[in-house]
Chain A
Amino acid sequence: MASLVSDLAVEEVLGAPGEQRSRPTRRRIAWWRAVVLLLAAAYFLLPLYAGLRFALQDANGNFSFSSVRAIAHQPGLGDAFWLSAELAALTMVLTLALMVPTTIYVHLRLPKLRPVMELVTLLPIVFPPIVLIIGVLHAFPLWLRNWQYMLALLYVVLAMPFVYRSLDAGLSAIDVKTLVEATRSLGARGPTTLWRVLLPNLTSAMVSAVILTLALVFGEYTMAALAQWSTFPVWLYDFFQTDGHVTVAVSMAALLATWVLLSSIVLLDLGRSRRQANRRRS
């Protein structure tokens, strides 16, 4: 299939000698593209469709909104969701505060250490979260174990691989060294350079990092369950034993809320850029 696609691509680039021959080529390419698109769409959308259908059924398998209506009355859901939201916010702040200066410093002063950083930041993916949380539960003092926001410290470690890669890609897209030297030659010090030049050019990378962190915190179950904190995923699992339909309805609602939130972040960022551009033009 790969060779067929590449052959077709070559034909498309070079162009066929006659119009009559080029038309069927384009049709064949469009057909293959449509197949790939449909397969990918089915892969992602079918589970969502199955979840939605299950959420919109009552205990007898009939179509019903009863599960959706019941979401608002579930005990513990609000607290669990709020805890996860707080943890997500704290994790985002801590991760960005830690990783943005570190990644910039590595790019600027220690570029030879980038492969080492790649490796180090992969470790949280290699080690299962259960290893980390068991170690922490043994090593941390009691007051820290009893502090619910302790989980955010662990989520920072889990988010590190994704955040580092996102920031690394953002920094690789700009010539950090030259930009920093240009600001210095104009009289700027470190904080000014960071605030006025580097961070504005890392906005997209930071938005990506925030989205990934949010998704990670709202999906992490193992650590929260073992630490015995009722976060949103833990609540979902526990409540699934009581009513599967409502649980799936909550999951779908959370998915929708997350999607709306992330879209808002992206749209706000786009709107901000456009407003700035318009202001400058005027």
Chain B
Amino acid sequence: MTTEARTIPPRTPGAPEPPGGARVSLEHLSRSYAGVKALDDLSLTVEPGELVALLGPSGCGKTTALRVLAGFERVDAGRVVVDGRDLSRLSPQKRDMGMVFQSYSLFPNLSARDNVAFGLRLRRQRSAQRRASAEAQLALVGLTEHATKYPHQLSGGQQQRVALARALAIEPRVLLLDEPLSALDAKVRVELREQIRALQQRLQITTIFVTHDQEEALSMADRVCVMREGHVEQLATPEVLYRAPSSAFVAAFVGTSSRLPAVRHGDEAVVLGTACPIRPGTVRPTGPAEALLRPEDLGVRLDPDGACTVVARTFFGGTTRLDVLIGAAICKIDVRSDDAAPFEPSARVEVELRARDVLLVDAG
């Protein structure tokens, strides 16, 4: 899914003007909890109007980084700079950042409209203006008819949309999203992530989005920051991250990949008996190497005398994923579901390399 393909909803009459985005820099952030490093010299810059996803496994420090940015956590070292101003010592109230939390964070005693108006009330907006702004924000997220409902009367997806409207109502310079979709069911998650992205693009607000879901990160973000053990493993566009991961960790974490033994000859590697160029700009191992292959990098055909065996088959709608035993390794290969019927478990097959180039990593 590309960002260009998404439709951006038209501006609602009365909706606030786009606040524009700020440049956000996290500079050499370090934070330890009881000797364990949650952030380890983390540096990252987010351009104005950009949506950057912080992606990584549990405990990689992505939520800590977001909380440091919001001002909820202090750092042992480093700075948070927004538009050239050091905010490290500023309280969350003064940082001018809107935040949407993982758990539904609506105030249970207030209606959807009053939730959205909460921040405006603190900014001493007049009642009528506050009400109009809150309703405009609710219209922005498509919840006009739910303005008087209380959080317990709303579904999870609706609650998160109200939370988004509430965060946007104060016209923050930076929007922080802390796994806002993780508590929702799959269909609502997809709908809401498209809505968030469309809104973010329309308002051109700098957004930092924490997720552990690679599909979410790849489909929403301008750039994805893969984190590991408190530091940035790679920061790149989704396409670069998928096609040219900078390490085996990134390759394994982003997308599906399989490993096959490879023999390196200069700028080429021999995989499955086929010589193939090594992907330009990637690290080249000096010792024993393995090729990291995406499911679409391999082709498969039925062959009763083939050296490989299908061990499992998983239906994904348009495509079917085969687990194929090649020597001692199991590789994942995608085929069109229309063609998948003959590839039953235990079927003998032949596998061929279809990639234009391959990514090599150290064997082991």
Interface contact A181-B118, CB-CB below 8 Å: no
Evaluate contact between B113 and A186: CB separation under 8 angstroms.
no
Residues of B within 8 A of A196 (CB): 107, 118
Contact B103 A187 (CB under 8 A): no
* B119 in contact with A186 (CB, 8 Å): yes
Pair B101/A187 contact, Cβ less than 8 Å: no
Per-residue CB proximity of A184-209 to B under 8 Å, as 1/0?
Answer: 11111100100011001100000000
Asked if A188 and B122 sit within 8 Å, CB to CB, the answer is yes
Tell me the chain B residues, 70-104 only, with Cβ under 8 Å from chain A: 70-72, 91-93, 97-99, 101, 103
Does A258 count as interface, using CB distance less than 8 angstroms?
Answer: no
- Those of B237-256 within 8 Å (CB) of chain A: none
Q: Which residues of B contact A175 (CB under 8 A)?
A: 103, 105
Tally of chain B residues near chain A (CB < 8 A): 29
Tally A-B pairs: CB < 8 A: 66
Contact A174/B108 with A186-B122, A188-B122 known, Cβ cut-off 8 Å: yes
**In the complex, per-residue mask of B110-138: 1 if CB is within 8 Å of any chain A CB, else 0:** 01011000110011000000000000000
Distance to closest chain B CB from A202 (angstroms): 10
Give bound CA distance, A264 to B114, whole Å. Answer: 28
Asked if B109 and A197 make an inter-chain contact with CB atoms under 8 angstroms apart, the answer reads yes
A112 within 8 A of B: no
A188 with B103, Cβ < 8 A, contacts A197-B109, A201-B108, A280-B111 known? no
Q: Pick from A174, A184, A280: contact of B114, CB below 8 A.
A: A280
Interface size class of A (residues with CB under 8 A): 20 to 34
Q: How far is the CA of A186 from the CA of B105 in the complex (A)?
A: 12
Min CB distance A282 to B, Å, is 9
Q: How far is the CB of B160 from chain A (nearest CB, A)?
A: 12
Most B Cβ at <10 Å: residue of A179, A186, A277, A281: A186
- Name the contact of A200 in the complex, choosing from B109, B113, B176 (C-beta under 8 A): B109
Q: Which residues of A contact B176 (CB under 8 A)?
A: 185
A18-59 to B contact mask, C-beta < 8 Å, 1/0: 000000000000000000000000000000000000000000
Q: What residues on B are CB-neighbors of A179 within 8 Å?
A: 105, 107
Q: Among the listed A174, A181, A186, A201, which residue makes an inter-chain contact with B72, where contact means beta carbons less than 8 Å apart? A: A181
Give the A-binding residues of B (Cβ under 8 A). Answer: 70-72, 91-93, 97-99, 101, 103, 105, 107-109, 111, 113-114, 118-119, 122-123, 148, 150, 163, 166-167, 170, 176
